Amino acid sequence: MPGLSAITAANGWFITAAGLIIVFTGLAVLAAFIACLDTLLSLWDRWTAWLERATGREVSASRPAPSAQESPAPVQPASSAQKVVLGGETLEVYQYFQWLTRREGEVFSLSRLLEQAEKRGIPRPHFHLDELLLLGLIEELPGEDCGFYRWTPGANVQPEEEPSRRTEPL
Residue 157 CA to residue 136 CA, distance in Å, equals 11
Least Å distance between CB 70 and other proteins?
9
User: Looking at beta carbons only, is 5 or 79 nearer to other proteins?
Assistant: 5
Q: Which stretch binds other proteins (CB under 8 A): 30-38, 72-80, 106-114, 143-151?
A: 30-38
Binding footprint of other proteins, residue count (CB under 8 A): 45
Q: Supply the minimum distance, in Å, between the C-beta of residue 41 and other proteins.
A: 6
**CA–CA separation, 97 vs 147, rounded Å?**
18
Answer yes or no whether residue 163 interacts with other proteins by CB under 8 A: no
- Taking alpha carbons only, the member of 145, 158, 162 closest to residue 38 is 162
| β 82-86/155-159 pair status | parallel
Is residue 89 involved in binding other proteins (CB under 8 A)?
yes
Binding span for other proteins by CB under 8 A among 22-30, 104-112, 137-145, 149-157: 22-30
The residue among 163, 136, 131, 160 whose CA lies nearest residue 149 is 136
Contacts (CB under 8 A) with other proteins, residues 38-77: 38, 41, 63-64, 66-67, 69
Residue 123 touching other proteins (CB under 8 A): yes
The residues near 118 (Cβ < 8 Å, ≥ 6 apart) are: 125
The interaxial angle of helices 125-134 and 110-119, nearest 10 deg, is: 140
For position 106 contacting other proteins by CB under 8 A, the verdict is no
CA distance 94 to 77: 15
Cβ atoms within 10 Å of 137's Cβ, excluding its own = 20
Options 94, 99, 108, 149; binder of other proteins; rule CB under 8 A: 99
Per CB under 8 A, residues contacting other proteins are 1-4, 6-7, 10-13, 15-16, 18-20, 22-35, 37-38, 41, 63-64, 66-67, 69, 88-89, 92, 96, 99, 120-121, 123
